[in-house]
Structure 1
């Protein structure tokens, strides 16, 4: 279970660490202060260097050694100091790492330093002599040692990479929230084993009265917005690593139990009852589905139209509402479902899988579909070029191919909302699109490159609306969402976000990974449809779903979910 700690005087933290039970030490490079926080209560216990207050100005990383020595970094230098009665004194010579630019993570064990540079390089030093470097591949914010494993934090990738002390990548986790910048292994007095704690620094805003400004013409108060506020908090990370044999593993991380309500109401339009009078129809809705990262605890029908939970012709669970026996004498009929689900973060670590697909997977998820423009020569030529650019020995590696296709699409498209339909080739030519357009282009190219894949959706919890009160708060999604899953032999379906953040360095963040905020519905490729009874066959082309119904969606965060 996770519980947020919002300590005083911890707004601009770059690194955290612990060498005392129930305590976390935080370094604030703006104040130049080393603070101490009680993990049990969240209380700020004071500044440790209160007589040498500027010592930690510009500090990037901190490590509290068991022998009382404190290491901290500034650019590419590592200092070793002691603190007594608030006064700092030097205990060892400064170490300079010429190969590093900006040290953001430190650990020391049995004479060896483990030093993380912000660029993504992990340096291993024997004393002050570099003996090995490991390219983690993404920008780093902080590191810690948990048990005998290095936990390397990268906020831009929303990831924690777990490494052995010899530099071998063992597993990965997804951080629950944006803004992770500090990580520490902390022993608390109420639990036998140490736990992982993460410090998050998220941008916020505040309102103030600018007394020096002249009043507006309507004599309104001189209210101004300060957008440079930081919202700092610490949470314990709950996680579990699940092995997949020789194929690799995946990590589950912190999540929440949520109540997801989806309802549709017949539109209050004067001619709507006449248009559907006498039509024998049902409405089918996709519902939350059980996955490795999403656990469905219950689904119940709501509203005043008879409905059942059933499986459709492809084996997908859906909610079906039968309008044949409903007297449509009023326009405000509504129907839907309420589901209680547990959502977790997930991140896969996969070992060079090949494309030896089962026949059923090839038949269903490598097939050509017109909506993905797979018959268009332009797309087929791009797929051929992408495959030919991959080294020959890696052309059977579906993970490598999926990454290559995704990087191509991300480099060609910018995320921009518009509601004009474009085919995948037209989307590529325009250079912009929403998640659904990214998804269609990705699926078309991936299938042409031999990667079995399928569309997924439907919603994301807008976490920014929950910043100040996650549990027991209610929110409405900003929009529906679509992403992609690709099939990896010996593993199964692996998720990846469809749309980019328009920042090249973030392209890795949700490849083979998702955060807890994604709500996955059944894989029908249809979210809702007006159908003939007991089928997905449309009643008529003139009966468009959006013309007749208006949706309402609510998400309530019930509690923090536990993986144990």
Structure 2
């Protein structure tokens, strides 16, 4: 008896941008392809699913063995044999009978599994590794260190082992002979729980597919309550192709991206009547980077001229005067191509880097933004953060972890200086950035502020206006010989003591919008003099309006 494959349309229909949403699924974990057939395990229900990737039509293959498949987290298929992990056990079975045969028992929970000929790969978060077994002897051959800190699932293809990590929001490409990470790819969605490789039977082209599983909040209409609308949560699970483009020369990998329209507008609405003569209102424009390309920019409300400030484009709006009772709306709208990016640079790569230039030292190692770098608490923190470390990349990593140990996240109405933030132990994203900047600069690492806004990360909500609730900032640090590298401020601070993920250490997801690197996002001048917050804050003079619209998913980067 042989496993019978269903007949589906041409595989070209499933390659590219289609999200697969199996009907009736709750929490998808391990996934695998048999030619053009997609198999997936629903770990909560114990369903082994056969999925039509074109229609989402779903069939339960283990109708009479559901209890045996409860809590299964990883699956893999080699020829007519299905391999799976459940608890700390690894099993195999024939695809036609699905009667489980015990293979090996681990001391801790077995998470993911991948099989290539007689080699069995099993990931185990609690052991911090990927264990390799021989099928014939059932003995462990060797062990690779796990590249991330979360629960990992596996797929294997010839010389490559692919590892997805739930916490890291990352897929790692690993040499399956040595265990060395070749490159890493940020996934476009959080909580990746499974990974599989599809090979087009006609073209031979291979595509990575990643399963995701999490909960999402939604507003529920409850007719028995008053008011009837209430917050609730529901399962969110689906499978999406992971596109990537690896650039080994520049040490980065691009991943899924989106065409996004972003609008930033100010509405003059002062809290009190003011008169300002000869006004120049400057708003930074989106940056052109390896991961972010500007397709179009146009003014909103009023025309603007452009200036270049420290290499960054800035829109300049000019008014003869702003008088009491006068009202305007003005700003810009940009269409951007934005992708995920992840750099792969190791401490060994930065052992013999060039000296910093005088310009970098004079601009990015000084206290030019109320960083309190001369206070005792900040200087002590700078020493404690790195200890005896001398390698630049390890110093940066140590500083990040030190700040995460010392601070917890909290929103505040204004930004305090790093000495106050360290004393308090709680900071917003801007305050995280301030502390990081101060400690890095005191340790000789050039840093600058980047950011301003993130697109709401709902890639499925296309052609729908989206509004972020808050602005956001992160930073870039400079490594001679490699250039400026991104690092998030606080999102990787997932809990005191770590271990902390490195998903946004030298990486940004598609929803990060880079605007005004190292310069002020918005400034106001009157009669040639820059107004400070003490003179008149922009928040007292105008209301800002920010809107994002995700237009479409981009094709894979070349």
Scaled by the length of structure 2, the TM-score of the pair is 0.89
Q: Cα distance, 1:15 vs. partner?
A: 1.0
Output one character per residue of 1:164-208: Cα deviation in whole Å (capped at 9) or x when no partner. Answer: 012111111111111211111112457531200111112035677
| 1:169 alignment counterpart | 181
Report if aligned partners of 1:259, 1:558 keep a CA contact under 8 Å in 2. Answer: yes
SS of corresponding position for 1:403: helix
| 2:3 alignment counterpart | none
> Where does 1:174-253 land on structure 2 (aligned, <5 Å)?
174-188=186-200, 192-205=204-217, 226-227=232-233, 229-244=234-249, 249-253=251-255
Output one character per residue of 1:491-539: Cα deviation in whole Å (capped at 9) or x when no partner. Answer: 1111111114442344423111111111110225311111257x77338
Picking from 45, 53, 63, the partner of 1:50 is: 63
| 1:266 alignment counterpart | 268
| 1:316 alignment counterpart | 312
Q: Cα distance, 1:8 vs. partner?
A: 0.5
| 1:520 alignment counterpart | 514
Q: Cα distance, 1:140 vs. partner?
A: 2.8
Gaps of 5+ in 1: none
Q: Are 1:124 and 2:132 an aligned pair?
A: yes
SS of corresponding position for 1:14: strand
Q: Cα distance, 1:358 vs. partner?
A: 3.0
Partner Cα separation in structure 2 for residue 52 and residue 543 of structure 1: 70
Q: Are 1:59 and 2:59 an aligned pair?
A: no
Output one character per residue of 1:282-320: Cα deviation in whole Å (capped at 9) or x when no partner. Answer: 00001100111111112112213x3112213x2321000
SS of corresponding position for 1:18: strand
Q: Cα distance, 1:268 vs. partner?
A: 5.8
| 2:284 alignment counterpart | 286
Output one character per residue of 1:120-152: Cα deviation in whole Å (capped at 9) or x when no partner. Answer: 311112231112112224223311124531111
Partner Cα separation in structure 1 for residue 383 and residue 324 of structure 2: 58
The Cα RMSD (Å) is 2.4
SS of corresponding position for 2:20: coil
CA 371–16 in structure 1, closer or farther in 2 if over 3 Å, else same: same
Moved more, 161-170 or 438-447: 161-170
| 2:489 alignment counterpart | 498
> Where does 1:301-312 land on structure 2 (aligned, <5 Å)?
301-304=299-302, 306-312=303-309
Report if aligned partners of 2:29, 2:212 keep a CA contact under 8 Å in 1. Answer: no
Partner Cα separation in structure 2 for residue 206 and residue 458 of structure 1: 27
Scaled by the length of structure 1, the TM-score of the pair is 0.88
Partner Cα separation in structure 2 for residue 73 and residue 329 of structure 1: 70
Report if aligned partners of 1:410, 1:507 keep a CA contact under 8 Å in 2. Answer: no
Moved more, 347-356 or 514-523: 347-356
Partner Cα separation in structure 2 for residue 361 and residue 446 of structure 1: 13
Partner Cα separation in structure 2 for residue 373 and residue 518 of structure 1: 28
Q: Cα distance, 1:242 vs. partner?
A: 0.8
Q: Cα distance, 1:321 vs. partner?
A: 0.7
Picking from 543, 546, 554, the partner of 2:536 is: 543
Output one character per residue of 1:399-449: Cα deviation in whole Å (capped at 9) or x when no partner. Answer: 111110010000010101112442101100100010000000000001111
CA 450–225 in structure 1, closer or farther in 2 if over 3 Å, else same: closer
Gaps of 5+ in 2: 1-15
Q: Cα distance, 1:118 vs. partner?
A: 2.7
| 1:157 alignment counterpart | 168
CA 63–335 in structure 1, closer or farther in 2 if over 3 Å, else same: same
Q: Which runs of 4+ in 1 moved over 4 A?
A: 205-211, 223-226, 326-330
| 2:116 alignment counterpart | 109
Moved more, 422-431 or 346-355: 346-355
SS of corresponding position for 1:523: coil
| 1:359 alignment counterpart | 358
Q: Cα distance, 1:55 vs. partner?
A: 2.7
Partner Cα separation in structure 2 for residue 431 and residue 530 of structure 1: 32
SS of corresponding position for 1:89: coil
Output one character per residue of 1:197-240: Cα deviation in whole Å (capped at 9) or x when no partner. Answer: 111112035677889xxx66x7x76x77653x211111111111
